[in-house]
Chain A
Amino acid sequence: MEKYALYVPRLVTKEEIFAPGHRACIGCGEALAVRLVCKALGRDVIIASATGCMEIVSSQLPYTSWQVPWIHTLFENTAAVASGIEAALKVMSKKGKRPARDTKVVAFAGDGGTSDIGLQALSGAMERGHDFLYVCFDNEAYMNTGIQRSSSTPFGAATTTSPAGKMSIGQTSWKKNMPAIAVAHNIPYVATACPSYPFDLMAKVARGLATPGPAYIHVLSVCPTGWRCPPDLTVRMGRLAVETGIFPLYEVENGKYWLSDDSSALRPVTDYMKLQGRFRHLSEDVVEEIQRRVKTEYAGLRRKARRRHHEDG
């Protein structure tokens, strides 16, 4: 799907809006995702960020990696903070108290800050219809506090609070379908993305940003530290998540599903799982069960979705 144009730099802004000097782990896929998302956002944005890895690594006093206005307050309230910013900007420019620039409001949070503790605030903000883009960086656990499970942790994965043991296979629940929850709010734009597909990711961010009303993008972000995989495999791992059908890339525009890529021949999930320490303890039966589930869900998605051919490619 990603037709890498030969001269990438011509297509992507050279500006590093997420400045180097951040303290993310070596090979962090979440930092890569933030960096690419920021390139697509450009400079005319205000970012509200949740507590989590990306906040901690980017804003240790007296330093900041942010080149754009950025605010962090707490873990679970990012969508509400963004609501306040958006409402204020609107009324202030209407009252002539701020220049009528078209500054966009963006919220950043991890999977914990989104699908667990921040779900209520996000639901409220989507329901009220604020004009903002919410980006969830999903590394499938609470990484900042030391790899504890979240509702976004995949079935079978070992984390520090869903450890594998004689009596446990690790995480015993299936990953919460956060994009579907966003879709259920009838918002105009929802998408999944992954930095291993940088052009797709950036195009979706640009679309989400341009959409009036709430937009939600769920970005799979490989975490070598928490997934226990070699840091040089970060980009490859994201690709495998997509090619196995574990993390399909799609968009939902006004309720209509579009597959960003259609792999009728999915790779076996083991191609992905065998490279990660968090799945290493799983028996063949469990892997088989995961394989079946992935196939069923992918087939369900294909039934709902159409293949998209964007003019811009």
Chain B
Amino acid sequence: MTKPENMMTWKDLEIGSIVTEPGNASQYQTGAWRSQRPIHDFTKCIKCGLCYLFCPEGCIGQNAEGYFEADLFYCKGCGICARECWTRAIKMVEEEE
């Protein structure tokens, strides 16, 4: 785990403030920004993967049965996946408070 920025002292920084842990932004939760969430109806899903391709967050993956599903840790709720799904298998619903 990367030390959070408000805990880091100047001694914790690498020379030139280089970050040596590739892709550690994946520890950062962007899902908290969401006001809508995608709900997948697997009965309609043909597993084409288009939603996965068009998600700006790259947060849609295949579950054990091969269906595509959003990782809500990252999903910002943009609704692109729902808009682009051919079979209308995805519905956007309001996040509850």
Chain A residues in contact with chain B, CB under 8 A? 4, 6-9, 12, 14, 16, 18-24, 26-29, 31-32, 35-36, 58-68, 195, 198, 230-236
Query: Can you pick out 12 interface pairs between chain A and chain B where the beta carbons lie within 8 Å of each other?
Result: A21-B28, A21-B29, A27-B76, A27-B79, A31-B56, A31-B57, A61-B19, A63-B19, A63-B28, A64-B21, A234-B78, A235-B80
B27 engages A234 (CB within 8 Å): no
Contact (A67, B23) CB under 8 Å given A20-B59, A20-B71, A31-B56: yes
Name, among A20, A21, A32, A232, the residue most crowded by chain B CB atoms within 10 Å (CB to CB): A20
**In the assembly, what is the distance between CA of A58 and CA of B58, in Å?**
13
CB-CB nearest 6 A-B residue pairs: A232-B79, A27-B78, A21-B25, A8-B49, A19-B23, A21-B28
A61 engages B26 (CB within 8 Å): no
B26 engages A234 (CB within 8 Å): no
* Smallest Cβ-Cβ distance to B48: which chain A residue: A6
CB-CB under 8 A from B71, the residues of chain A are 20
B53 engages A64 (CB within 8 Å): no
Contact with A along B28-55 (1 / 0, CB 8 A): 1110010000000000001111101111
Contact (A235, B84) CB under 8 Å given A9-B62, A20-B58, A27-B78: yes
B side interface size, CB within 8 A: 44
Tell me if B2 counts as interface (CB < 8 A to partner A). yes
CB-CB under 8 A from A66, the residues of chain B are 22-23
CB-CB under 8 A from B57, the residues of chain A are 20, 22, 31
Q: How far is the CB of B21 from chain A (nearest CB, A)?
A: 7
A232 engages B50 (CB within 8 Å): no
**In the assembly, what is the distance between CA of A297 and CA of B56, in Å?**
31
Point out the residue from B5, B79, B92 that lies within 8 Å of A61, measured CB to CB. Answer: B5
* Smallest Cβ-Cβ distance to A6: which chain B residue: B48
**In the assembly, what is the distance between CA of A2 and CA of B8, in Å?**
48
Chain B residues in contact with chain A, CB under 8 A? 2-3, 5, 8, 13, 17, 19, 21-30, 33, 46-50, 52-59, 61-62, 71, 74, 76-80, 82-84, 92
**In the assembly, what is the distance between CA of A64 and CA of B79, in Å?**
25
Point out the residue from B25, B33, B52, B58 that lies within 8 Å of A26, measured CB to CB. Answer: B33
A236 engages B83 (CB within 8 Å): yes
**In the assembly, what is the distance between CA of A6 and CA of B83, in Å?**
18
CB-CB under 8 A from B76, the residues of chain A are 26-27
Q: How far is the CB of B74 from chain A (nearest CB, A)?
A: 4
* Smallest Cβ-Cβ distance to A25: which chain B residue: B76
CB-CB under 8 A from B50, the residues of chain A are 4, 8
B56 engages A62 (CB within 8 Å): no
**In the assembly, what is the distance between CA of A230 and CA of B92, in Å?**
14
CB-CB under 8 A from A20, the residues of chain B are 25-26, 30, 57-59, 71, 74
A32 engages B48 (CB within 8 Å): no
**In the assembly, what is the distance between CA of A63 and CA of B49, in Å?**
29
**In the assembly, what is the distance between CA of A28 and CA of B52, in Å?**
15
CB-CB under 8 A from B25, the residues of chain A are 19-22, 58, 60, 63-65
A21 engages B56 (CB within 8 Å): no
**In the assembly, what is the distance between CA of A96 and CA of B84, in Å?**
50
B27 engages A231 (CB within 8 Å): no
A29 engages B56 (CB within 8 Å): yes
CB-CB under 8 A from B48, the residues of chain A are 4, 6-8
B22 engages A64 (CB within 8 Å): yes
Name, among B5, B33, B62, B76, the residue most crowded by chain A CB atoms within 10 Å (CB to CB): B76
**In the assembly, what is the distance between CA of A28 and CA of B77, in Å?**
11
CB-CB under 8 A from B8, the residues of chain A are 62
B80 engages A27 (CB within 8 Å): yes
B62 engages A61 (CB within 8 Å): no
